[in-house]
Chains A and B, each alone.
Chain A
Amino acid sequence: MKLSKNRLRECREKEGMTQEALAQKLGVTRQTIISIESGKYVPSLQLALLIAKAFGTSVEGIFGV
């Protein structure tokens, strides 16, 4: 499955956060953040909720199908 909307990179850069910092905050590896940003990997619901929480927005605000 491919995501039609993926604003993770945009949100991260807006917050001035590095991939490493976001990965540490979410408890995943930096490669996972890279994969999600490049659209290679679709995060699970749990990770998507964590990402949304980290940016203070909803899941729909970052990802979409």
Chain B
Amino acid sequence: MDEPARNMLKLGFGLIAIVLGLALNILGVGRTDFLFDSVGNWLMYIGFMTLVIVLLRKIVAKKKVVDERMEYVSAKAMRITFLALILISFVLMIVDGISPITMPYYMFLSYLICALLIVLLLSYKILLRFFY
């Protein structure tokens, strides 16, 4: 997918998230004790941040060279992340079996996604710097 199409997709996602968030807030749908007070607020926040990041990248960011070596390393990093997901899931199953995890589902998934992003970033940087 080329750059303009990717940007349009991101902008579309941002706008849909904002509209959906507004609709949920107006209709009064969604929990009120959620991370951002309500699901609607959270969706609007995500949509707004997406729009800001896309626009800032368009205005400020320099043209970055992404070559085949980076793509190769990124594919390797994704494989490592996938393996990490399986391992983390396995460990969580055991931990949950020993002592049930009681945190809210959205918090749990937020932590899991953050952990996976950290694994992806670290594995990419380490592979790029030391192995390829």
Contacts and interface: CB of A to CB of B under 8 A. Distances in A.
Interface residues of B, number: 9
A15 B132 CA distance: 25
Interface of B is mostly: helix
Contact of B132 (A40, A46, A47): A40
Interface string A23-34: 000011101100
B67 A41 contact: no
A27 B65 contact: yes
Nearest to B130: A40
B23 interface: no
A27 B128 CA distance: 18
A32 B67 contact: yes
Interface string B39-81: 0000000000000000000000000010111101000000000
A29 B132 contact: no
B67 A29 contact: yes
B105 interface: no
Nearest to B73: A41
B68 A28 contact: yes
Interface in A25-65: 27-29, 31-32, 35, 40-41, 43-44, 46-47
Q: Which 3 A-B pairs have the closest CB atoms?
A: A28-B67, A32-B69, A41-B132
